[in-house]
């Protein structure tokens, strides 16, 4: 989960000012957390509380206003409705990481990823993006190889992961759909050699940088056994005390060390 937050904060600077290189400062004076972090924490709190996903997502979004929410999601936040609106956007995948860390059973991860997604993103592509991300995290936690993870995602979800970053980068444009964000984020992980390298891979693609790096970072954290301490400490410094407490409590409960 912290890997997702790191990716969001690092990518926040480049979402609308793409940087198609792996050479950049991870954090600078403009870095900040966005909706990706807010909703990632909301899902974690919901899991800890065994609550209702829609209520926690909406409550956290209302608590942290102005963090870059999409137009339709913003309308949903402000409404009294708890009904989904059929989104296939990448928001379902960027907020799901806690699910991949919370459960060890594949069927349960699939079920909870769907439940966390469909409160807003009940389109099949929105659900698939969340499930693919969560399953990749689960497999990474279980010590599966990058090739094993690739094969599973291709076979179970049908994403094309046979492209390289060098092939994607020249033609990739800003896209908020799951179907054109999740595969690219997974490829950024598959070509990585360590956590930081994975984040740099994701940012180098351009596109929806914070969400790409958020998804990539969530898988990389699981695969590489955590977030490097200096990067984790810096990322946590951008968050308020309440968010930090949620993160500590979540990791303590799922027995993962930050």
Q: What is the CATH number of the domain that holds 176?
A: 1.10.4080.10
Domain assignment present for 192: yes
Domain assignment present for 133: yes
Q: Sort 160 into a burial class: Cβ within 10 Å, 0-12 / 13-18 / 19+.
A: exposed
Give me the tens of pLDDT residue by residue for the chain, a chain 258 residues long: 999 999 999 999 999 899 999 999 999 999 999 999 999 999 999 999 999 999 999 999 999 999 999 999 999 999 999 999 999 999 999 999 999 999 999 999 999 999 999 999 999 999 999 999 999 999 999 999 999 999 999 999 999 999 999 999 999 999 999 999 999 999 999 999 999 999 999 999 999 999 999 999 999 999 999 999 999 999 999 999 999 999 999 999 875 433
Rounded Cα gap, residues 258 and 214, in angstroms: 17
H, E, C per residue of 194-233:
CHHHHHHHHHHCCCCHHHHHHHHHHHHHHHCCCCCHHHHH
DSSP state of 19: -
Domain assignment present for 72: yes
Rounded Cα gap, residues 38 and 75, in angstroms: 17
Structural domain harbouring 46:
2-12+30-254
State the total domains in the chain: 1
Residue pair 188/212 in contact (Cβ under 8 Å)? The answer is yes
What confidence score (pLDDT) does residue 255 get?
52
Half-sphere exposure of 218 (CA within 13 A, CB side): 35
Q: Any idea of the CA torsion for 27, 68, 81, 92, to the nearest 10 degrees?
A: -50
Helix boundaries (H) for the chain? 2-11, 35-49, 53-63, 71-78, 91-94, 97-102, 106-118, 124-141, 146-157, 165-168, 182-190, 195-204, 209-223, 229-236, 241-254
Domain assignment present for 43: yes
Domain assignment present for 46: yes
CA nearest to 120, candidates 138, 95, 103, 156: 95
CA nearest to 40, candidates 252, 199, 176, 213: 213
Domain assignment present for 208: yes
Domain assignment present for 17: no
- pTM to 2 decimals? 0.97
Rounded Cα gap, residues 111 and 11, in angstroms: 29
What confidence score (pLDDT) does residue 151 get?
98
């Amino acid at each position: 989960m912290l890997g997702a937050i790191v990716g969001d904060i690092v990518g926040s600077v480049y979402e609308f000012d793409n940087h198609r290189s792996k050479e950049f400062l991870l954090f600078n004076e403009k870095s900040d957390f966005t909706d990706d972090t807010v909703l990632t924490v909301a899902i974690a709190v919901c899991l800890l509380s065994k609550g209702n996903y829609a209520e926690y997502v909406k409550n956290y979004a209302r608590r942290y206003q102005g963090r870059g929410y999409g137009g339709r999601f913003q309308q949903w936040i402000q409404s009294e409705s708890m009904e989904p609106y059929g989104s296939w956007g990448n928001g379902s995948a960027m907020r799901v990481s806690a699910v991949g860390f919370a459960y060890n059973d594949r069927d349960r991860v699939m079920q909870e990823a769907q439940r966390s997604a469909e409160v807003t993103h009940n389109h099949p592509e929105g659900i698939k993006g969340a499930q693919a991300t969560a399953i990749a995290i689960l497999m990474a936690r279980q010590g599966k190889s990058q090739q094993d993870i690739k094969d599973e995602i291709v076979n179970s979800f049908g994403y094309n992961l046979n492209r390289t970053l060098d092939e994607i980068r020249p033609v990739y444009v800003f896209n908020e759909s799951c179907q054109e964000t999740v595969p690219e984020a997974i490829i950024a992980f598959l070509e990585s050699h360590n956590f930081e390298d994975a984040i740099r891979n994701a940012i180098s693609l351009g596109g929806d940088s914070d969400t790409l790096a958020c998804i990539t970072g969530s898988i990389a954290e699981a695969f590489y056994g955590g977030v490097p301490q200096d990067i984790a400490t810096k990322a946590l410094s951008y968050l308020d005390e309440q968010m930090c407490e949620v993160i500590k409590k979540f990791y303590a409960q799922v027995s993962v060390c930050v």
